[in-house]
Amino acid sequence: MDVILLGTGSPIPDPRRAGPATLVRAGGATILFDCGRGVVMRLAGAGVLPQTLSAIVITHMHSDHICDLNDVITSHWVMSPIPQPLAIYGPPGTEALVKATLAMLSPDIGYRLAHHADLNEGPEVVVTELAPGDTTQIGACELAAYRTEHAPVRPTLGYRVTCGTAIAAVAGDTVPCAGLDALCKGAGVYVQTVVRDDLVRRVPSRRFQDILDYHSTVEQAGTTAQKAGVKILLLTHYVPPMQAGDEDSWRALAAAHFDGKIVLGDDLTKVSLPE
């Protein structure tokens, strides 16, 4: 199983970091978690063309996690040599999100249908809304949904992907909670979006401080990883953007609470687990 950080950024614009998106490849399946800014470019960087995706999985509807969903839908559609459905999983509200996205794309869909004689229908998107406790099969991978806590954003889900003996916990944006502990229990890799509260607190902006309300800090990610007995903690969604050469100071904050391996870095950072 390969877990690749496609985008390690956040809503804060950063020329080096795409928006939140993580790729899990295992057992022949290629699963995209979230569709942040620049996701199709980073998929290309990982050697993945949109039409080869097995499924898209959405953690929650914050704009930084879904703003390029339209690009994935369009690219999957026009680059597929023969019509093939695109499977999208997510919490309740995903169906409405996809419907609205297709409505936004309707002029473009019309242009392409009018232009290409071999395109006879628009994108076929098959949405499955999931609740905590639901599981589904994507190729050889089992996908299980867990409740996370990112209030006032509701609903939010974290996902556990199991393929053979490999387990990845893709947590999304969440503070520590019982659902997150269950999601991470014994995982080979735990992917957590994080903030640095020590740095955020220095910024004299009420709106920026609000970010601290509903994300895990780097220390909390380390504590969750330790409690759950995960092997590798993979940090992403760095707020504020992690600067070059700063990796060790971020790692040290998690290492104070977690004995295992801690991985962080730029877009396309990869962790591999035996299946």
How many helices, marked H, and strands, marked E, lie in the chain? 10, 15
Closer Cβ to Zn ion, 67 or 109, answer by number? 67
Gap between the Cα atoms of 259 and 232, Å rounded: 10
Least separation in angstroms between CB 237 and Zn ion: 6
Least separation in angstroms between CB 257 and Zn ion: 22
From 64, 68, 173, 267, the catalytic residue: 64
The SS3 call for residue 10 is coil
Closer Cβ to Zn ion, 8 or 101, answer by number? 8
Least separation in angstroms between CB 241 and Zn ion: 13
User: For residues 27 and 139, is the Cβ–Cβ distance under 8 A?
Assistant: yes
Give all strands (DSSP E) within 71-154, no chain letters: 86-90, 125-129, 135-138, 141-147
Binding site for Zn ion (CB under 5 A): 62, 64, 173
Gap between the Cα atoms of 75 and 218, Å rounded: 35
Based on the residue annotation, tell me whether 64 is a catalytic residue of this protein: yes
To which residue do tokens 């006032």 refer?
A: 152
Least separation in angstroms between CB 197 and Zn ion: 15
Cα end-to-end distance, the chain, whole Å: 6
The residues annotated with a catalytic role in the active site are 64
